[in-house]
Structure 1
């Protein structure tokens, strides 16, 4: 009898207003045959990230694969391998997993990916935290280190209550880099102050822009990390000193529309304002194996030390996942939803 794998597959819809729960369906399909370089993982935990939600809308940097399992990251136990000596060494080990682009994702009982997309995990990190190690924390670390390369002494973090934003604040503080955090909810102001942000600004305040400009110039903030884009990018850059750089790593604004953004041509020409993008998949694709391994070890150490900590709203099995994903879509700052497929 053919062994079946169960998981949440993408269901493409024309209705742009349909919730995330309607864009997935729980299905069964045969376990795949491992191709050269691949490993089979029994999944322990997998989070929902904003990138997953954008992918469900068909608006992500990867084309949607109708009927394929969804989910970009997680953690699990390697149970089989067709990947040479490294694959054999991974068998039996708990690993952080990144989905293989164009293949099934990890919101399933079992997942298949490339062996070099698996990062062996320390024993002192719980499954729920280990499942979140790749996408958000690695992005936080990479962008702070890029800001340092650009000579930044202070970083502006837009949508700072996100998991990436919180990671940036924690890591920047450890390295002696100041942060100016912008948030849309007053409830997040004290949270980010406790994390160590040097200044927290509420975007809904009447004097937000004048305070932002005053603070950016006082603290010499020359790098913006922005996951919102659209109007936010030119607005914040307008408040920053000349020769500043925006690093765009997402677009949370109007995610039902195609990816895009706005910027001021005058600022780019006359104020030497620069805009660049960051996508972790591109970084990992270009990095040497030792660089990825070093990044993983650094992030895991930060988790073990308690410097990094992913906020978790709820841990669910298959039955409660539909409701939980819709809650996350509307309340991201509450924390991650973690799927445990084999519970």
Structure 2
């Protein structure tokens, strides 16, 4: 164990998961003291400064994520912090002392903690002009927005449909698409969000609760030739929206916000796939980063940070809290995601 690690032994407050399925998301979290193990090759130790709650975190807490939940598993998928120790060669030495946006090593460690361990190549140095609360949200949502809109352009889309568009991914996709000249049709479930996204710059914003929603969506989707759906809802929303879109359209499914006991949680129309050439593909940022070359990840990071610094991207924040108020804040976020992110400040308590 290095000198730096021995200093923080028994001081590593962290949130871990309980597998009890009868509990709500926030009730599954237990605050513990964790020892910091010796770093393995390729790993770095981070003093965490801020970490958000994302929909993927909530899904993981409920045991419905792509990673099976385990008792006492560490929680939190992304954040920002200072690299205080490294066992990762020249790159690790270069990172030491730098503020970095990080992704967790799921199954190894989580970032809802005072200190966290992750892979050096999961760390992205952050510009000085981006504050901690925004830097903490650099990876999961903005990178997802950019990657999916870029994929839509690659597929030849001139316009896209975005469901659950009041989410941070949805808002980011609207802003970034507008910058690229790609038109957007956003779908939401409340009139308040219709007004918000119209102001944000979406070309059309439709309320799924309106009785003429399907007709409006079909009209605008065909008028604008919207051939890509960015789908965070899944379940019955996927075939419903695709039915209104032109032949040859593609759904990029990146989430499942629909509450369902179905372990798969998705639906699609076999007839549309066969006769209308409808395609469905998935997107998970962890897979993208895992397959990408280091220069591609750094290029993505620079692009996203430039968009933050120029004001194209900005994460809406509802509350910044320490460990003592975190559970209550999570419950609010679970019910009111469009209010903005909850950010954990681990060093506050």
- TM-score norm. by structure 2 comes to 0.96
Deviations 1:181-227 (A, max 9, x none): 00001100111011110000011111000010011011111000010
Match runs of 1:59-208 below 5 Å: 59-208=64-213
Which of 216, 224, 227 is the matching residue for 1:219?
Answer: 224
Alignment partner, residue 12 of structure 2? 5
* d(CA) in 2 for partners of 1:301, 1:66: 39
Match runs of 1:332-343 below 5 Å: 332-343=337-348
In structure 2, the CA distance between the partners of 1:255 and 1:71, relative to structure 1 (3 Å rule), is farther
* d(CA) in 2 for partners of 1:218, 1:14: 46
1:252 aligns with 2:236: no
Partner of 2:34, secondary structure, is strand
- TM-score norm. by structure 1 comes to 0.98
Cα deviation for residue 95 of structure 1 reads 0.1
Alignment partner, residue 309 of structure 2? 304
Q: Contact between 1:4 and 1:29, CA under 8 Å: does it hold in 2?
A: yes
Q: Contact between 1:73 and 1:132, CA under 8 Å: does it hold in 2?
A: yes
1:46 aligns with 2:51: yes
Deviations 1:254-311 (A, max 9, x none): 1554242000000000000000000000000110000000000000000000000000
Alignment partner, residue 3 of structure 2? none
Structure 2 runs not aligned, ≥5 long: 1-5
Q: Contact between 2:10 and 2:33, CA under 8 Å: does it hold in 1?
A: no
Partner of 1:229, secondary structure, is coil
Structure 1 runs not aligned, ≥5 long: none
Q: Contact between 2:21 and 2:62, CA under 8 Å: does it hold in 1?
A: no
Q: Contact between 1:47 and 1:73, CA under 8 Å: does it hold in 2?
A: yes
Partner of 2:347, secondary structure, is coil
Deviations 1:73-119 (A, max 9, x none): 00000000011000011110000010012211000000000000000
Q: Contact between 1:57 and 1:256, CA under 8 Å: does it hold in 2?
A: no
* d(CA) in 1 for partners of 2:73, 2:286: 19
* d(CA) in 2 for partners of 1:59, 1:68: 15
* d(CA) in 2 for partners of 1:310, 1:259: 30
Cα deviation for residue 342 of structure 1 reads 0.3
In structure 2, the CA distance between the partners of 1:128 and 1:158, relative to structure 1 (3 Å rule), is same
Cα deviation for residue 68 of structure 1 reads 2.2
Aligned residues: 341
Q: Contact between 2:49 and 2:81, CA under 8 Å: does it hold in 1?
A: yes
Which of 24, 28, 41 is the matching residue for 1:23?
Answer: 28
Partner of 2:107, secondary structure, is coil
Q: Contact between 1:154 and 1:178, CA under 8 Å: does it hold in 2?
A: yes
Q: Contact between 1:311 and 1:334, CA under 8 Å: does it hold in 2?
A: yes
Cα deviation for residue 66 of structure 1 reads 1.8
* d(CA) in 2 for partners of 1:211, 1:197: 15
